[in-house]
Amino acid sequence: MQQSNQAQGGAARTPIDSALPASPIDYLHAVHLCKRELCALLERIADGGAASSEDIEAATAFLSDEFPTHLEDEEQDLFPLLRLRCERDDDIDRLLDKLMDDHRHAHFDATGVIRILKSAASDLGADDITDLRRFAGHARRHLILEKAVLMPFARLRLTEADLETFRASMRRRRGLETNTD
């Protein structure tokens, strides 16, 4: 898997080190890159391609650990901040409602994907292949909305104080010290 500057191995490693998240928006971007790499892995497995045990282990760890925390980052901090800061003409509520609905499905579906990944060394059934492709397809569409619409609004509308509050929440959620001195 391709490495990003914040994540070594994409979905293969949780994109956290002791200094992160320094920039909440950049951190979300790094997690989104990991999700893209996860989608590619799921599609490769669904197409009958091989995946290393390290990729499988890292993908299941990502889905079990970072993915639920990432959803919380967006739902508990980013979305409420955007609802507060965006202007009426931004029409952000409809987008955020759609993304929240996507999150509910993704959170539920991730359990099945983890189960499939843990048995990926054996033959996958037709339902497993369909589930992997469906999860990857939904995740890709979700990422397109986030990259094309959500993240530009976050960069445009959130204040420095918003970003610092968001950063502190992200660090607390991950059990990291909030004091950066």
As a whole number, mean pLDDT of residues 9-18 equals: 46
Q: How confident is the model at residue 17 (pLDDT cuts 50, 70, 90)?
A: low
**Cα(129)–Cα(46) distance, rounded to whole angstroms?**
5
Check residues 13 and 40 and name the one with the higher pLDDT: 40
Which two tokens mark 109? 């579906």
Which two tokens mark 179? 């004091």
pLDDT tens for 101-139 read 999 999 999 999 999 998 865 678 899 999 999 999 999
Q: How confident is the model at residue 49 (pLDDT cuts 50, 70, 90)?
A: confident
Residue 116 lies in a domain: yes
Residue 57 lies in a domain: yes
Give the domain extent around 71.
10-173
Helical H segments across the chain, by residue range: 24-46, 53-61, 67-72, 79-85, 92-118, 126-145, 151-157, 160-173
Percent of the chain scoring above 90 in pLDDT: 71
Burial class (CB in 10 A: 0-12, 13-18, 19+), 61: middle
pLDDT of residue 3: 36
Residue 139 lies in a domain: yes
Helix (H, G, I), strand (E, B) or coil at 179: coil
Across 18-22, 23-27, 33-37, 173-177, least confident range: 18-22
Residue 179 lies in a domain: no
**pTM (2 decimals)?**
0.85
pLDDT of residue 6: 37
**Cα(180)–Cα(32) distance, rounded to whole angstroms?**
25
pLDDT tens for 117-127 read 988 656 788 99
> Which residue in the block uniquely carries the two structure tokens 């502190």?
168
pLDDT of residue 72: 97
Nearest to 131 by CA among 115, 107, 105, 113: 113
**Cα(164)–Cα(181) distance, rounded to whole angstroms?**
14
The maximal CA–CA distance of the chain, rounded, in angstroms, is 53
pLDDT of residue 165: 95
The CA-based angle 133-15-66, given to 5 degrees, is 55
Nearest to 150 by CA among 73, 65, 39: 73
Check residues 56 and 5 and name the one with the higher pLDDT: 56
Residue 109 lies in a domain: yes
Check residues 19 and 152 and name the one with the higher pLDDT: 152
pLDDT of residue 20: 59
Number of domains making up the chain = 1
Residue 159 lies in a domain: yes
Q: How confident is the model at residue 52 (pLDDT cuts 50, 70, 90)?
A: confident
CATH code of residue 63: 1.20.120.520
Residue 137 lies in a domain: yes
Cβ partners under 8 Å of residue 100, min gap 6: 75, 79
Residue 65 lies in a domain: yes
